[in-house]
A and B are shown apart, each in its own frame.
Chain A
Amino acid sequence: MLTYLAKRIVYMLPVALGVSLFCFLLVHIAPGDPLTSVLPPDASQQMQDELRKIYGFDRPLPVQFGLWLWKAVQGDLGTSIATGRPVAGEVWRAVGNTLMIAGLATVIGFVLGCFFGFVAGYFRGSFLDKFASMLAVLGVSVPHYWLGMVLVIVFSVQLGWLPPGGAGPGGSADWKWDWEHVSHMILPAVTMSVIPMGIISRTVRALVADILNQEFVPALRAKGLMDFGVFRHVVKNAAPTALAVMGLQLGYLLGGSILIETVFSWPGTGFLLGNAIFQRDLPLLQGTILVLAMFFVGLNVLVDIVQGLLDPRVRRR
């Protein structure tokens, strides 16, 4: 198990390096100078050159990458061109905000997805199965910004139960775990949870159906186990894959949904990314993508480890 763990972590390094190179280049491939958009149109050539020097855009790309990476490793992601504040702080705050709704969304999606998946898998072909499958397909295919708006109309405008957007009276900077703040999380998280709910429910349904068809299930019954005893075995067999899918879904959600965060004005990574793109704020864009990519890589390793803990067969690979 320890060698498996070490292997997973060592494999992670080249991936992380590749990802950072890729997101550095990606931003530089895009046409246009990042400075032109912030500078006034009548700025002198001398002023432009000076600013380029300050931001380091005058050096060759490999040097820029090396410097950027070296600083990034130390936690310095540069300074935002648009706001002049350190990127790292902005990104971390956004990641924290997104993590809150993404985490809640994943929990909702996982619980509901597993429930529907188990019901559908246990009663294949029945009315319950068709109902659960319909919900799952609906979840993956409904446009989320639309669903978000519908939820706002119903629960905020008409019923007035939940706030329509924002991160609470104090905003994200002054977050408290009280109802006034938490109530702002609910609608975005529910909207966000719909995709993982659908995917997890389809996965779990297929898993359960497959497990129930295996011969060890009658063998368990043959030794006298009743439904609950068999269910325990089904759960443990389904858990590694279901958790892996959940981990990946959390990874996707961490990238934040630009659309959902925009609909709900939630100050998360999607929101930040959108702003960075529209303002051509290069350091901010790079920093955000890098942090998100690292989260994704880290999550993958975590998923591998959990899978190895739960399924003895994985460890030997």
Chain B
Amino acid sequence: MNTPLVAMENVTVRFRGAQTVHAVNGVTLTLEPGKVLGILGESGSGKSVTLKTLLRLLPESRTDIGGSVMVDGRDVLALGPQELADYRGRVTSMIFQDPMLALDPVYTVGEQIAEAITRHEKISRREAMQRALELLQLVRIPSPERRLKAYPHEMSGGMRQRAMIALALAARPKLLLADEPTTALDATVQIQILLLLRQLQRDMGMGMLFVTHDIGVAVEVSDRLAVMYAGQIVETGTVRELISDPQHPYTKGLLAANLHGARKGERLEAIPGAPPALNEAPSSCSFAPRCRQAVEACQDGLPPVVTLGEGRIVRCVRTEAALQPA
């Protein structure tokens, strides 16, 4: 087995402030080169924070990060300022949720892409612009020559996201982080962007971490899935395993709450309640208050990590109980 592209080991993220927020509480995940891991969870589950940790984009002065983060053999948390800047964009790059906000409004798209290239490669501005043009062709933007000189506000949402993808690919990264890249887009554009991302990821052999709250989107692009809740991964497995045989009650709830496969006239099932406030680190199962299958043991401590198979993990007391011989 070759070394994984990403190896996060028991990562914790806390935001200090008037109130401490325990955003990520012991995340362990691995990603093989060239594979896609979908991270699924609702707002505030810590999925975006997990992603940003991989680029160390969180405000350093207010953030404590624990555990270890290895990407392509580098200890990301130990990188110095220069090494970190060289790593960002070159090894790992990111596609942001809303391209309108993530692109600088006063520079042309071409300039912004070229800037990412010249930052990491010693080539002239003209060559960089040429490469930027090729990238725009790669992400299949209509009339790319014109878009090169366009400002973000002159493009449609779908085109902006394509430009954002081109920007992320500018320095040929090994790992692509996608933070809900289709959430801000129309449904018809969403699927185009998903297919494009999936194809580019395969063609370029990149690893990809894809964060989304939409289970349908996650299934579309991912090889494997990780379900996050309250800053922890509660279940991982291949897409097939998770869809056909979900173990954690939260995963089951997410699947039941989804429109896909719902029959007409049938009530959609919602998960009752809301995710917990993360003012302190969880000491027992965070999902128990909303869980229909909760038992007393759920309150006794953090749920055990149950390994069901290679890369198939569930954090639930009941799964453990079911495995034990009666």
Chain A residues engaging chain B, CB cutoff 8 angstroms: 214-216, 218-226, 229, 233, 236-237, 240, 310-313
Q: Which residues from chain A contact B106 at a C-beta distance below 8 Å? A: 233, 236-237, 240, 310-313
Closest A residue, CB atoms, query B86: A224
**A223 touching B115, Cβ below 8 Å:** yes
Interface residues of chain A: helix, strand, loop or mixed (majority): helix
The contact of A222 among B93, B98, B154, by CB within 8 Å, is B93
Query: What's the minimum C-beta distance from B63 to chain A, rounded to whole angstroms?
Result: 13
The smallest beta-carbon distance between A311 and chain B, in angstroms, is 6
Given A222-B57, A223-B88, A224-B89, residue A312 in contact with residue B151 (CB < 8 A): yes
| Chain A residues closer than 8 Å to B94, beta-carbon distance | 219, 222
Q: Are A225 and B119 in contact (CB under 8 A)?
A: yes
Which of A214, A224, A229, A313 contacts B171 (CB under 8 A)? A224
Q: Which of B55, B57, B106, B153 has the most CB of A within 10 A?
A: B106
Complex: A259 Cα to B57 Cα, angstroms: 52
Once bound together, how far apart are the Cα atoms of A225 and B88, in whole Å? 8
Within the complex, the shortest CB–CB distance from B99 to chain A, in Å, comes to: 9
The interface on chain B, measured as residues whose beta carbon lies within 8 A of the other chain's beta carbons, has a size of 33
- Fill in one digit per residue for B166-204: 1 if any A CB lies within 8 Å of its CB, else 0: 011011000000000000000000000000000000000
Residue numbers in A under 8 Å from B151 (CB-CB) = 312-313
Contact A215 B105 (CB under 8 A): no
Residue of A nearest to B98 (CB): A215
Q: Is the CB of A219 within 8 A of B90?
A: no
Contact of B96 among A219, A225, A226 (CB under 8 A): A219
User: CB-CB < 8 A to B105: which residues of A?
Assistant: 216, 237, 311-313
Apart from the given pairs A224-B86, A312-B151, 17 other A-B contacts in the complex at a CB distance below 8 Å: A216-B105, A219-B94, A219-B96, A220-B104, A221-B88, A222-B89, A223-B115, A223-B119, A223-B171, A224-B85, A224-B87, A224-B89, A224-B116, A312-B106, A312-B153, A313-B105, A313-B151
What are some 14 contacts across the A-B interface (CB < 8 A)?
Answer: A221-B57, A221-B85, A223-B93, A223-B167, A223-B168, A224-B89, A225-B85, A226-B81, A226-B82, A229-B115, A237-B106, A311-B106, A312-B106, A312-B153
Q: Cβ of B321 < 8 Å from any Cβ of A?
A: no
In the bound complex, what is the Cα–Cα distance between A226 and B85 (angstroms)?
6
